[in-house]
Amino acid sequence: LTRNRYPDLKKGPYADLTGQDVDYFSNLLPGRVLTDASDLEGSNTDWLGTCRGSSQLLLRPKTTDEVSKILEYCNGRKLAVVPQGGNTGLVGGSVPVFDEIIISTQLMNQIISLDDISGTLECQAGCVLAALDSYVSDSNLTMPLDLGAKGSCHIGGNLSTNAGGVRLLRYGSLHGSVLGLEAVLASGEIIDCKSTLRKDNTGYDLKQLFIGSEGTLGIITAVSILCPQKPKSVSVAFLGCESFETVLSIFKQAKHSLGEILLAFEFMDSASMDTVRDNLNLTSPVSEFPFYVLIETGGSDGKHDEEKLTAFLENQMSSGLISDGTVATESTKIANIWGLRERMAEGLMVDGYNYKYDVSLPLSKFYQLVDDMRDRVGGLATRVVGYGHVGDGNLHLNVTSPQYDEELMSLIEPFIYDWVSKYKGSISAEHGLGFKKRNFIYHSKSKSAVDLMKRMKLLMDPNGILNPYKLLPDN
């Protein structure tokens, strides 16, 4: 019954789903088993609408024990599975390739505890990021990560992709803020790494293996994460810049002058601004410039923070680095400004097909890639846009066209990966490898490192049932 949508790829050595399997799961999870094709449609298709599987079964466990029983059964039967959180992943990792069973964390959305002294939050993996942020905010805390998909993505999905987002500059990556987790291996064995301690050097730090492993080593069922204090005052500045060199100079100055209150430093080019204006009807608060910078500050003393930001901006103005900009301290205005940057992914989708790249590059080479790509693809593309977490050296380069175009794709790949590799960048800064980028892993990782990854996969999932065709390359 399975359709091969990827002609170059064969289904692995996995069993086909039977009526008996469905009966087993229906007994285990009464009322939480979906088999209807129309109910499964959304979960079979990724957020970008570019990857599509044909799973016939979606399971919605509520407890770790249920996840364990599901995996034990699937492992015994050699049924392949794909873990799914909010299905906002951007590399085709969260949807089946063939008929893998979808294990959704939708109903694993309980908060376990919050220690408002240490700031440690413990919760199940299916909690939605925005819901967690609003929960901890009552205790004057905030989540250490924030991203455009916060209204749908799950914390388990965030850990599994090691999501970065717009606060990484200030709070660091999840490898630092996750204190512990619980995961279930393919065999059904529950691995308890549920520490809530800030410091714990007793042996290998196994939780790190699951962070960024994109559901290939185990299913994360619970998380404990360190939440920083919520800033008492937040301000956002949105500035127009004449060149990318100016963006970098402002960044250097911002780190120097704003110091500990600097929360985010994002950039977008004029083609990005055109995208949200043309496709989402958003209006820019500043006049037209080749580049824009969004700076967010957050601190504990509104007056002091505002003074600091104002002095910084005045300096940039008087040194001629910026000639137009706006500052917001009121939440609706802040949200409108953030919308210009955070709704970029949504805006690009309106063009039709979105060739999405997410790379790390040395800042000296950062924007040259966008210029080179524009020259290379010429009129074949609707747009070539560059935006992203410039403060973290992370560029989002996107190309669009009305529909998928083979010729355009052949101009983009492998050119982009070769380019990034030449300058010792990473071909995936934060989105992961998933289904789309796994065969380019050698552009960023050595053969010895990939070989060890393969051995770890074999140890933790000997039958390869967990998220096959993802992250690891074919060869």
Q: Supply 22's token pair.
A: 């469905």
In contact, 267 and 196? CB cutoff 8 Å: no
- Give, in order, the Cα–Cα distances in Å from 184 to each of 104, 189, 192, 219, 460: 14, 6, 9, 5, 10
For residue 84, state whether it binds ligand FAD (rule: CB under 6 A): yes
Site for ligand FAD in 63-82 (CB under 6 A): 82
Three-state secondary-structure class, residue 303: helix
Site for ligand MLT in 226-285 (CB under 6 A): none
- Give, in order, the Cα–Cα distances in Å from 292 to each of 263, 346, 419: 17, 19, 25
For residue 231, state whether it binds ligand FAD (rule: CB under 6 A): no
Which listed range, 274-282, 284-292, 313-321, 426-434, lies at the site for ligand FAD (CB under 6 A)? 426-434
Q: With CB cut-offs between 5 and 8 Å by kind, which of ligand MLT, ligand FAD, none does residue 105 bind?
A: ligand FAD
| Pairing assessment for the beta strands 291-299 and 353-360 based on DSSP bridges | unpaired
Q: Supply 193's token pair.
A: 């790494």
CA–chain centroid gap for 102, Å, is 19
Residue whose C-beta lies closest to ligand MLT: 345
Residue type, 150: K
**Cβ nearer to ligand MLT, comparing 167 with 396:** 396
| Pairing assessment for the beta strands 120-124 and 111-115 based on DSSP bridges | antiparallel
Q: What are phi and psi of 353, to 5 degrees?
A: -95, 135
Which listed range, 113-121, 215-223, 379-387, 447-455, lies at the site for ligand FAD (CB under 6 A)? 215-223
For residue 222, state whether it binds ligand FAD (rule: CB under 6 A): no
What ranges make up the beta strands (E) of 125-259?
Answer: 178-184, 190-193, 219-226, 233-241
Q: With CB cut-offs between 5 and 8 Å by kind, which of ligand MLT, ligand FAD, none does residue 214 bind?
A: ligand FAD
Q: With CB cut-offs between 5 and 8 Å by kind, which of ligand FAD, ligand MLT, none does residue 298 bind?
A: none
Q: At what angle do helices 331-342 and 270-280 cross, to 10 degrees?
A: 110
Q: With CB cut-offs between 5 and 8 Å by kind, which of ligand FAD, ligand MLT, none does residue 220 bind?
A: ligand FAD
- In this structure, the chain runs to a length of 475
Nearest approach, Cβ of residue 31 and ligand FAD (Å): 21
Q: Supply 360's token pair.
A: 């790390």
Nearest approach, Cβ of residue 102 and ligand MLT (Å): 23
The site that binds ligand MLT (CB under 6 A) totals a number of residues, namely 6
Site for ligand MLT in 350-369 (CB under 6 A): 358
Q: With CB cut-offs between 5 and 8 Å by kind, which of ligand MLT, ligand FAD, none does residue 316 bind?
A: none
Query: How many other C-beta atoms are found inside a 10 Å radius of the C-beta of residue 68?
Result: 19
Q: Is the dihedral of CA 406, 408, 409, 415 positive or negative?
A: positive
**Selected binder of ligand MLT within 92, 93, 126, 148 (CB under 6 A):** 148
For residue 161, state whether it binds ligand FAD (rule: CB under 6 A): yes
Which listed range, 158-166, 170-178, 332-340, 398-406, lies at the site for ligand FAD (CB under 6 A)? 158-166
Q: Tell me the helix, strand and coil percentages in the chain, rounded to 5.
A: 35, 20, 40
**Cβ nearer to ligand MLT, comparing 68 with 158:** 158
For residue 105, state whether it binds ligand FAD (rule: CB under 6 A): yes
Q: What are phi and psi of 141, to 5 degrees?
A: -115, 170
Q: With CB cut-offs between 5 and 8 Å by kind, which of ligand MLT, ligand FAD, none does residue 344 bind?
A: ligand MLT
**Cβ nearer to ligand FAD, comparing 88 with 246:** 88
Q: Which of 251, 236, 262, 267 is nearest to 330 (CA)?
A: 236
Q: Which residue has the tokens 């990560």?
A: 145
Query: What are the start-end ranges of the H helices in 319-389?
Result: 331-342, 344-349, 368-377
For residue 437, state whether it binds ligand MLT (rule: CB under 6 A): no
For residue 436, state whether it binds ligand MLT (rule: CB under 6 A): no
**Selected binder of ligand FAD within 54, 124, 160, 297 (CB under 6 A):** 160
**Selected binder of ligand MLT within 396, 436, 437, 457 (CB under 6 A):** 396
Map residues 428-457 to x or -, x wherever contact with ligand FAD holds by CB under 6 A.
Answer: --xx--x-----------------------
Query: What are the start-end ranges of the H helices in 259-367?
Result: 270-280, 302-318, 331-342, 344-349
For residue 391, state whether it binds ligand MLT (rule: CB under 6 A): no
For residue 92, state whether it binds ligand MLT (rule: CB under 6 A): no
Residue whose C-beta lies closest to ligand FAD: 157
Q: Is the dihedral of CA 351, 354, 360, 362 positive or negative?
A: negative
Rounded to whole angstroms, the Cα distance separating 176 from 4 reads 40
In contact, 192 and 472? CB cutoff 8 Å: no
In contact, 377 and 412? CB cutoff 8 Å: yes
For residue 225, state whether it binds ligand FAD (rule: CB under 6 A): no
Nearest approach, Cβ of residue 36 and ligand MLT (Å): 31
Which listed range, 17-25, 83-91, 244-252, 331-339, lies at the site for ligand FAD (CB under 6 A)? 83-91
Binding site for ligand FAD (CB under 6 A): 47, 82-90, 93-94, 105, 125, 147-149, 153-154, 156-158, 160-161, 163-165, 214-215, 219-220, 345, 430-431, 434, 467, 470
Binding site for ligand MLT (CB under 6 A): 148, 344-345, 358, 388, 396
